[in-house]
Structure 1
Amino acid sequence: MEEGVVANWRIALGDKVKRGQVIAEIETDKATMEFESFDSGYVLLLVAEEGETLPLGAPIAVLGKKGEDPQEALAAFGGGSGGGEAAAPAPAPEAAADAAASAAADAQAVAESAPAAAPSAPASVEAVHVDPKDRRIPASPVARRLAREHDLELAAITGTGPHGRVVKADVEKAIAEGTGKAAAAPAAGEFSGEVDGWGRPYVSRPDDSVRLSMMRKAIARNMTKAKQETPHYYLTMDVDMEKAFAFRADFNEAVPEGTKISFNDLIVKAVARSLRDFPSVNASFDGDKAIIRGDVNVGIAVAVEDGLVVPVVRYADQKSLEAISRESKALGKSARDKHLRPEDMSGGTFTVSNLGMFGIESFAAVINPGEAGILAVGAIESRPVVQGGELVIRKRMKMTISADHRVTDGAVAAKWLTKVRGYLENPLKMLTDGPG
């Protein structure tokens, strides 16, 4: 993680904050985390706006005693925006007193325990509305206000602050040069100048630039790294799911509502048991050696609004189907609610990615860095197959392993895939073949 977004403030100017109190929600690459205060005191200044992206170590608020000047705290911290703009003047004493009227005295300024890093620290107590299209553009509050006042688009201004942040000087330069205006988009239905064979005009439609979320940027970075550094190879196998269908129906009929299992739970269990049988697939590449992982921790790819997260079911080879089902449901809900903790997404040794619910017949997935493989699972379909010399309709499913050729070869991965198929075609073996 190199930067974060202040997704939501839980405090306001003048509030009294206790040590350990949740004061904000911070959006990271994969989740939205609650941020607790390290100190107590009055809220003298909210440095960061909701939706603003800031680098690690940047100040987001100033706490202190009643009547203290927040600008002095910022100056002690490092001061300034890092982009050459001067700090805004401190609020008038009357305004500061009014803002803190409801809070009690006796607190310690946050500046005394602030980290040594001193990135940008814009100074403004003005509560302002942030246009949704500008929310993820890094900019100081002063720069945002100036841009709004002059009807400029932050996206059209080149930032010279830390990490490309737009600062006051950048906006002033755009004002002076008459730049910073968004390009005029073609009006809806504007004639493109071309017609089809019947003389009907083609309509020109404008492009739309969408700024990547932090999660999307993390996915782009990690997947690029995986494809550039990991030599993938792919093996696909067809699985007869008739017995799995019958097993699941019987199982769910016999257990309480909260412990019913899905086909993905069966797949996770089959994958976990097979990884225990083939340790070389439960591995990772580390320079001049392969690390054979002792634990079997299966990641489950979960689609969320901004992209994809992979919460991990730990010790999946040792857990029952009911336990895997309960844990998978809880992790999936946390993922969709953006409440996953870092520990929920770390320590995976292999991943399952299932797109069967979207009707995908088969696909090949990209290996998560630090793992030796990922299993891509397609839809379970009724298909005609030849069995015993006759054409019959059976429920079938395709699965594809993407494997790291640095730590495992095709023959081993093929045997592993055959083991997974064996468990799915005879589900009772997962419950009777050894412990777990």
Structure 2
Amino acid sequence: MAKVVIMPKFGMTMTEGTLTTWDKKEGDKIEVGELLFQVETDKLSNDVEACDAGIVRKLLVKEGDIIECLKPVAIIAGADEDISSLLNEVSEGIESEEQSNIKVPEKKIEEIKSENIKSGRVKASPLAKKMALKKNIDITLVEGTGPQGRITTEDVEKYIENSKNKPEVSPVASKALENNYAEKRVPMSGMRKVISARMLESCATSPTVTFNIKIDTTSLKKIRNALKDVCKVTYTDLIVKIVSKVLLQYPLLNCSVDGNELILRNFVNMGIAVALDDGLMVPVIKYANEKGLEEISRSIKELAQKAKDKTISVDELKGGTFTITNIGMYGIESFSPIINQPEVAILGVNKITETPVVENGEIVIKPLMNFSLTADHRAVDGSVAAEFLAKLKVYIEKPEMLFL
């Protein structure tokens, strides 16, 4: 039975999506669970699988079209099933299925030539073959412009003339050819396109400054060890808990800019950057300032896994007020993270380095972690950013201060 495929709704706030790529074309067979198309929203890129098996009989929209949620995008039916009435229902003015199947595009000359080479045959006039043989030319390299890609004497002459005009190949170029060195263009994935657009938007929107500070993580390590039998928490879990509390004392770092107004908040929705094989997502822990450490730890793990499995919803990626990105596990000691719009600040977490420091007149080794805060200077002055980091240092080095 013929089925209409619709634009899915991935979250309560989603109203439309951009169909970026068709993974099947009209006439292709498709099974349940096979990838049919890809959808991109302002926060998410999703693969859409077929819920029904059959033949892709009609694609109702083009790649790049913006489609409202629940609107028809394709029809899947049996190979010989009549879908004309269904076509009339879903879209006016679409050519009947029979008409669209009659139109077969002409093969390109390059495709015909490729077929001929694979089959061991070359379409060329006898005179063209004789000329190529006399000039010691591989006729399969000549592009034919005659009927159905047939090679003419004019084609051979043009090939000879073009060869004369080619510059001599340098030793470096010869080496590159010998080793098959080559450039290759590959299209960006839907997720990479979203990331690219968002990064450009952020750099164009926010005049930023990055501030760095080293903080002793001895106390964080003690807390981790003390809790490991109850709840296995990470440094990120602990930092989220502490930063969520400190932000309430510095609302300018937790605000957003709207024209000539600042939107201030008395709550923290903490975004956590999650690296994926093909990009990056920032799930959001809503009202992180109210959550306990165990709940924060569980939320981070669950959202990160959803992001990696591509089962995360649009709603779980929206509403962030501040973001933390941790790349310390890669050995990075300092970087300038890019703000996740429309937020005004992002905190980069770097590796812990065992560092000699002077304490009470003696040299001791301390586990220091560098924090990199990027802030939007429209809302956050240097003094405010510095005070925030100084307070963060106090609470990380003496977390018992949070209870005061």
Q: TM-score, normalised by structure 1?
A: 0.65
| Structure 2 portions without partners, runs of 5+ | 1-16, 115-144, 150-167
Partner of 1:328, secondary structure, is helix
Q: Which residue of 2 aligns with 1:128?
A: none
Can you list the C-alpha shifts for 1:232-255, whole angstroms capped at 9, x where unaligned? 1111111001111111111113x0
Instruction: Indicate whether 1:359 and 2:327 are aligned.
Output: no
Amino acid at match of 1:330: E
Partner of 2:363, secondary structure, is strand
Distance 2:170 2:202 in 1: 44
Distance 1:312 1:251 in 2: 24
Match of 1:330 among 288, 291, 302: 302
Rg (Cα) greater in structure: 2
Q: Number of residue pairs matched?
A: 329
Q: 1:279 to 1:14 in 2, by over 3 A?
A: closer
1:354/1:376 contact within 8 Å kept: yes
Match of 1:55 among 43, 59, 65: 65
Amino acid at match of 1:56: I
Distance 2:55 2:84 in 1: 9
Q: Which residue of 2 aligns with 1:214?
A: 190
Q: Which residue of 1 aligns with 2:139?
A: none
Can you list the C-alpha shifts for 1:244-299, whole angstroms capped at 9, x where unaligned? 1111111113x0xxx31100001111111111111111100000100012321000
Distance 1:60 1:175 in 2: 40
Q: 1:250 to 1:36 in 2, by over 3 A?
A: same
1:8/1:26 contact within 8 Å kept: no
Instruction: Indicate whether 1:249 and 2:225 are aligned.
Output: yes
Q: Which aligned pairs between 1:173-212 and structure 2 lie closer than 5 A?
A: 193-194=170-171, 205-212=181-188
Q: Which residue of 2 aligns with 1:406?
A: 378
Can you list the C-alpha shifts for 1:179-224, whole angstroms capped at 9, x where unaligned? xxxxxxxxxxxx97336xxxx9565610111210111111111110
2:272/2:283 contact within 8 Å kept: yes
Amino acid at match of 1:55: D
Q: Which residue of 1 aligns with 2:204?
A: 228
Distance 1:340 1:14 in 2: 25
Amino acid at match of 1:406: R
2:213/2:371 contact within 8 Å kept: yes
Distance 2:107 2:266 in 1: 57
Match of 2:46 among 6, 16, 32: 32
Amino acid at match of 1:391: I
Distance 1:334 1:343 in 2: 13
Q: 1:7 to 1:360 in 2, by over 3 A?
A: farther
Distance 1:280 1:406 in 2: 10
Give the number of the structure whose residues are more often helix, by fraction. 2
RMSD, matched Cα: 4.2
Q: Which residue of 1 aligns with 2:287?
A: 315
Q: 1:44 to 1:211 in 2, by over 3 A?
A: closer
Q: Which residue of 2 aligns with 1:135?
A: none
Distance 2:267 2:49 in 1: 31
Q: Which aligned pairs between 1:9-20 and structure 2 lie closer than 5 A?
A: none
Task: Return 416-425 or 343-352, whichever deviates more.
Answer: 416-425
Q: Which aligned pairs between 1:392-403 and structure 2 lie closer than 5 A?
A: 392-403=364-375
Q: 1:151 to 1:275 in 2, by over 3 A?
A: farther
Partner of 2:98, secondary structure, is coil
Partner of 1:233, secondary structure, is strand
Partner of 2:228, secondary structure, is helix
Distance 1:387 1:73 in 2: 79
Amino acid at match of 2:226: D
Q: Which residue of 2 aligns with 1:374?
A: 346
Q: TM-score, normalised by structure 2?
A: 0.69
Q: Which residue of 2 aligns with 1:268?
A: 240
CA shift, 1:307, in A, is 0.9
Distance 1:317 1:192 in 2: 66
2:24/2:56 contact within 8 Å kept: no
Partner of 1:261, secondary structure, is coil
Amino acid at match of 2:111: H
1:247/1:427 contact within 8 Å kept: no
CA shift, 1:33, in A, is 6.1
Distance 2:112 2:85 in 1: 32
* Percent identity of paired positions between Structure 1 and Structure 2: 32
Q: Which residue of 2 aligns with 1:2?
A: 18
Distance 1:89 1:291 in 2: 57
Q: 1:285 to 1:25 in 2, by over 3 A?
A: same
